[in-house]
Amino acid sequence: MVSALTLLGVSSLNAAAQATDTSHPSKEREGGVSVQMPQSPEMVPLDIGYIIEEVEHPRPASRLDVEPENAGVAGAKMGIDENNAGGRFTGHLYSLDTETASSPEEALAALEKFQASGHNYVIVDASAPTLLKLADWAKDKNVLLFNIRATDVSLRQADCRANVMHIVPDRYMLADALAQYLVAMDWKNWLLVHGSTPADLAYAEAVKRAAGRFGGNIVDVREYKDVSGGRRDDVGVIPPAIPGKQANADKTVVSSPKYDVIVVADENQVFGPLLPYRGGGAPQIVAGTTGLTATTWSRGHEKWGATQANNNFEKAFHRLMLPIDHQAYVATRTIGEAVTRNPDNDFATVSAFIHGPDLQLAPFKGIKQQFRPWDGQFRQPILIATDKVPVSVSPQRGFPHASHPEIEVDTLGIDEPESICKM
């Protein structure tokens, strides 16, 4: 027990010290203590650009497939908020500046504006030709582009660019993810129905490639030919197997080899959503761009923190998160994580970090993710999902590969030995 005499002695010494030191008068109350508060770092603005190319698309079969006006931008803003939660400790204040373009020339003007105002990191929601135009202009400039829309395989191959990071998977990755699941379920015989647009034909080719890689068997291929000006109610019948015969509401599928799955290639959702119910064929599983799909995000995803992400997004934007939102979110979080690890924000250092093996993101899919060094493609698991819930996650087990056997996601898409990308 401390005696009253001891306490009195301490108080006397304190009083004497205060009386002696008159140059620094104490602001403490009697009996108080002083606490040295850490100073907050000076906040340095870090502006991220966002270019949206407005592209005309055919009207989808369902109005539910029309994207909201803030598609993608909302996801980027969610990432900005998370960046700022950590940026207050490193002295970085993130913001998002958006430009809309109706042509490749307007998109380039927007990029020039961003570059002139010091935007080193720019998210691009645009077609492949426009993205290439931007990348070639930005060559040798301190600008890194993040592709969140274009799934063209060529952008990761002959047309790859070192200043473009691909968040969105290419068609090969998506088709491989779906094919692995179908084969794992022993649904190996596929009827492939595709539209006539270049995008639909490209996805159909990706499906054929995936079938050859993983053991799928395409028993028949048919093309759906849309009738310009036709009534929307006429859409939905599987084209007959007779060459040259066009699908319409009165025709049904003629005799053909048995199939387990109808795989649809209809990226604009013009006819695919009606095939499961008015297709005229055997009532089998429908997969591909409709029905059971391979996607970066599902509104019903709940594992690995996804429930909280979906809830936070819905609370902030009053709608559900779409794949394009998740892709934009990953882009902004990539920038935030790289700058956090390299707080001086030297562009060359941050860019090298994003390209390298030390970047580790965990955007609600169970594993740490990064970019492939040979083509700039973001390595990520792909959800296999219906319109309501995920049913699996690819890569599936049992599909080994030689180049990076410890990285299972490299079974999706173009592996390093196959790549012709020269960055």
Q: What is the pLDDT of residues 201-256, one digit of tens each?
A: 999 999 999 999 999 999 999 998 765 544 445 444 566 665 544 444 334 444 46
- The answer to which of 30-34, 92-96, 187-191 has the lowest mean pLDDT is 30-34
Q: Is 384 part of a structural domain of the chain?
A: no
Quick one: 290 and 189 in the same domain? yes
Please tell me the predicted confidence (pLDDT) of residue 396. Answer: 96
What is the rounded distance in angstroms from the CA atom of residue 352 to the CA atom of residue 338? 9
Beta strand 261-265 with 217-223: parallel, antiparallel or unpaired? unpaired
Residue 104 falls within a domain, yes or no? yes
pLDDT of residue 33: 59
Cα–Cα distance, 354 to 5 (Å, whole number): 65
- Whether residue 75 lies inside any domain: the answer is yes
Residues 66 and 154 in one domain: yes
Mean pLDDT score, 28-49: 70
Q: Which of 24-33, 331-340, 359-368, 372-381 has the lowest mean pLDDT?
A: 24-33
Q: Are 119 and 98 in contact (CB under 8 A)?
A: no
Grade residue 407 by pLDDT with cuts at 50, 70 and 90: confident
In a shared domain, residues 258 and 313: no
Q: Are residues 265 and 196 in the same domain?
A: yes
Closest CA to 325 of 375, 316, 360: 316
SS3 percent helix, strand, coil of the chain, rounded to 5, is 35, 15, 45
Q: Is residue 416 part of a domain?
A: no
Total of domains in the chain:
2
- The pLDDT tens digits for 299-321 are 999 999 999 999 999 999 999 99
Residue at 198 is within a domain: yes
Using pLDDT thresholds of 50, 70 and 90, give the confidence band for residue 79.
very high
Domain of residue 58: give its range.
Answer: 44-168+300-377
Closest among 307, 261, 309, 303 to 281, alpha carbons compared? 261
Task: State whether 130 and 154 are in the same domain.
Answer: yes
- Is residue 50 in a domain? yes
**Residue 408, Cβ neighbours under 10 Å: how many?**
18
Asked if 254 and 339 sit in the same domain, the reply is no
> Does any domain span residue 117?
yes
Distance, CA of 26 to CA of 34 (rounded, Å): 10
The predicted pLDDT at position 38 comes to 57
Domain termination residue (choose one: 295, 314, 333): 295
First to last CA, the chain: 75
Cα 43 to chain centroid distance, Å, stands at 29
Q: Please name which of 273, 366, 408, 332 lies closest in space to residue 121, comparing C-alpha atoms.
A: 332
**Domain C-terminal end among 256, 277, 295:** 295
pLDDT of residue 55 exceeding 90, the answer is: no
Encode pLDDT of 118-128 as tens digits.
999 999 999 99
At 96-150, the pLDDT tens digits run: 999 999 999 999 999 999 999 999 999 999 999 999 999 999 999 999 999 999 9
Q: Are residues 132 and 210 in the same domain?
A: no
Pairing mode of beta strands 44-53, 121-125: parallel
Residue 14 pLDDT: 45
Residue 17 has pLDDT above 80, yes or no: no
**Mean pLDDT for the chain overall:** 86
**291 and 345 inside one domain:** no
Q: Which residue has the higher pLDDT, 361 or 284?
A: 361
Report the percent of the chain where pLDDT is more than 90: 70
Question: Collapsing DSSP states into helix, strand and coil, what is residue 94?
Answer: strand
pLDDT band at 13 (very low <50, low <70, confident <90, very high): very low
Helix (H, G, I), strand (E, B) or coil at 84: helix
* Cβ atoms 101, 53 nearer than 8 A: yes
Indicate if 320 and 270 belong to the same structural domain: no
User: What average pLDDT does this structure show over 157-161?
Assistant: 97
Using alpha carbons only, give the angle 110, 199, 248 rounded to the nearest 5 degrees: 130
Q: Give the model's pLDDT for residue 26.
A: 45
Q: Is residue 186 part of a domain?
A: yes
**Between residues 241 and 391, the one the model is more confident about:** 391
What's the CATH code of the domain at 365? 3.40.50.2300
